[in-house]
A and B are shown apart, each in its own frame.
Chain A
């Protein structure tokens, strides 16, 4: 039913090494293990592909690493119904390749998208640029199975695209970091692959001009694309864009963009780039991740540029730390990456940013703290007023608190 792996080092989380690693061979044996862990109050950390383990606060304990990779993998693609069901340990990259054989896809581009398991992708729920055009991961999940600390495999939703039968538990598990149960299977509604997708880049040292331009491009692209503004630690700015749709729509948008650039007061060059370069931008803060602290701000789209300019002032005031930002004014997201030379300075910068964001009623979380001491950071930021309900929910779903204990918001 299970195998035990003695190579414990590779399951390290925030410096903690588990007492034991267990690899269940089926969802049922996974559920059994969770029941036994509950009875014995063992702290369990689920481990998929292991690329996102820096997310979250320091665990309360780490008795068992649950390696989910030996559970049989499957993909059931119902192309005519535009749905797919797969095991949670399926590689998302492989899943999307399979869908693309039938000219369909799931329009997700979270960080490290092709190197995540489906379960990991759902549990972490990190946003990507394409959210601005196609909606969020949770909008595509139509059903789910989870292993619970009670030793059961339970399901919610189903495999049809429209369904209000019973309460929607799938949304609770998405972004819950595996603290309510371990996802074993997910069903998605999928969409047709667009006829064409192009990737573009504009570079210029006039950062202020590119800040304004990125907002303008986002409004021109409408729902057919999105622009991300990268400002590196030397103050050099680039706009990365993708445009998606029919051949005709993409050509029209391209023409509009070229016209804007042609009429612009400064000389701007538009470069077509490879998909890989676009995906590298999505991986912002997740490559060589041990070297950085990566924060994410969520705010109203209309506040995005105001907050970015405040961050730029904080950066200008601080001469020591190197800070890169990636800004999407369409979806109200700013990511900032600090290369921490000095602990106190880094903490001060994060607190300053948090302070500014709070004034705009936004949120800041630390997505990836690298090797930085998490004890010194407020990973999840301010807790929302609904936190008491979150705590109750956790106590209902995981009463003895074995699942990823301490790693979620407010120490859940």
Chain B
């Protein structure tokens, strides 16, 4: 139960309308996009860095945890307040503060929606490259916390490649800048350590991102294959041919069925798998590479390959891909989305293992993923009303992650570790590895007050691990 004087102090900072603490008001803030849930004690909507600094200082006085949250679209429980505390919802801080067209920079607040930034700068011939599937609602602050990617990160990289500087509020309430408007500033790359730290090291309150010129030409190809094996082989062939498309996305038969049930974007129902292969760049470059893509896919006996002839056709193809997860609802009441990465050459082998896991648990698994960088997203379809189903599904998710790790892959390519995968961290890292990460965290936030219980195995403070404290005096 939250102390009433705490509520009073919080209201004094942000105003009565921006503090929620009645139980029914809190319900919606117990979730993000994952299966985890837990209630915060109080929810606060700050408007400025100074508000956040004051709130953090108050939290310290009242010994409360702080859980930063953007749009709550995260898929690993990163914004779920597992141990209660003050949930800091940053959606009011949603201003695009300035654009420097010549240097291609944007200064934004953390609550700016990802796609809104690209829309805002489109008339200036620019765009913001990281494009998570949730980009119509996820925020740039949340993207920084999770180091989010998206379909086009195959060519453009993930969030960390596009963030130049952040103003952050630290665990003790200080406001400082990390990085600058250009790269290679002297000193440690603290910003590089901060991006992807899942809200545990500070709260980003202003962000400078790099914008890119909108490419002169874009071509989106839809290639269909009889089997997922053939499609996987085509991915390897494209990558090893020396082409770097801006995106290569794969959808299997089950996903195609769901998409055509709901979105109806013209994916072929006879295909075992389809690939969306997008190229961008100069007119000459793209048309030359498009021929190469056609040749590669045709040489691998694809059933069909076509190029979107208009923006409308291109948008329809992407609407299918971006709406795929939602469309899976037409096949089952619930799905559990797994995020793992494998070396690209291990895609066929890993997809076979996933298929075996599906047979073993007698539940369908749909695959819709970023094939170009080996980032798998198997979706286990189930009905949570059936007894024992949650354990079964979570167990299968663990087996899939183990399969990724076994072929040299990793636990998450873009969703983050959050709460969901923290106990899996030992599959990848030793105590000593985690100890080093804790040292980074401790240099920013030694008291574990920010977003506790995430990333690291164990309880909220994570201090029971490994060799931490060795040589500490």
Query: Which residues of A are in contact with B by a Cβ distance under 8 Å?
Result: 38, 78-83, 103-104, 125, 127, 131, 135-136, 138-139, 146, 148-150, 152-156, 158-172, 174-176, 180-181, 191-193, 222, 245-246, 248-249, 252, 298-302, 331-333, 361-363, 365, 380-381, 383-387, 389-390, 392-397, 399-400, 408-410
Contact = CB atoms under 8 A, between A and B. Distances in A.
Contacts of B415: 164
Interface of B: 100, 102-103, 146-147, 149, 153, 157-158, 160-161, 170, 176-178, 180-190, 192-193, 195-197, 213, 236, 239-240, 242-244, 282, 284-285, 288, 341-345, 370, 373-375, 408-417, 421, 425, 428-430, 432-437, 439-444, 455, 467, 470-473
Interface centre among A82, A138, A389 (most CB of B within 10 A): A389
A81 B417 contact: no
B428 A302 contact: no
B433 A156 contact: yes
22 contacts: A80-B240, A81-B374, A148-B436, A154-B432, A154-B435, A155-B433, A159-B343, A160-B373, A160-B409, A165-B412, A165-B428, A166-B425, A172-B188, A172-B189, A172-B192, A222-B213, A249-B285, A301-B102, A380-B187, A386-B178, A389-B444, A399-B472
Contacts of A165: 410-412, 417, 421, 425, 428-429
A153 B370 CA distance: 32
B102 to A, nearest CB: 5
Q: Which 7 A-B pairs have the closest CB atoms?
A: A171-B192, A192-B242, A396-B439, A392-B443, A152-B432, A162-B413, A393-B443
B341 A298 contact: no
B432 A150 contact: yes
A142 B236 CA distance: 19
B103 A302 contact: yes
Contacts of A395: 443
B421 to A, nearest CB: 8
B375 A162 contact: yes
Contacts of A245: 285
Contact of A192 (B180, B244, B285, B467): B244
A172 B417 contact: no
A300 to B, nearest CB: 5
B182 A409 contact: no
B318 to A, nearest CB: 20
| Residue among A168, A246, A387 with most chain B CB within 10 A | A168
A180 B411 contact: no
Helix, strand, loop or mixed for chain B's interface? loop
B181 A361 contact: yes
Contacts of B192: 138, 168, 170-172, 174
A410 B176 CA distance: 18
Contacts, number: 246
A186 B432 CA distance: 18
A396 B147 contact: no
B437 A169 contact: yes
Contacts of B242: 103-104, 192-193
Contacts of A82: 239-240, 344
Given A164-B412, A252-B284, 18 more contacts: A80-B239, A82-B240, A138-B189, A150-B432, A152-B467, A155-B430, A160-B343, A161-B374, A162-B373, A164-B149, A165-B428, A168-B193, A192-B243, A300-B100, A384-B177, A384-B185, A393-B440, A397-B436
Contacts of B470: 150
Contact of B187 (A138, A386, A397): A386
Contact of B186 (A152, A160, A409): A409
A122 to B, nearest CB: 11
A267 B160 CA distance: 45
A148 B409 CA distance: 25
A81 B343 contact: yes
Contacts of B102: 301-302
B153 A162 contact: yes
Contacts of B439: 393, 396-397
B437 A167 contact: yes
Contacts of B284: 246, 248-249, 252
Nearest to A398: B471
B184 A164 contact: no
Nearest to A399: B471
A327 to B, nearest CB: 14
Contact of A167 (B146, B189, B193, B345): B193
A396 B443 contact: yes
A396 B190 contact: no
A135 B471 contact: no
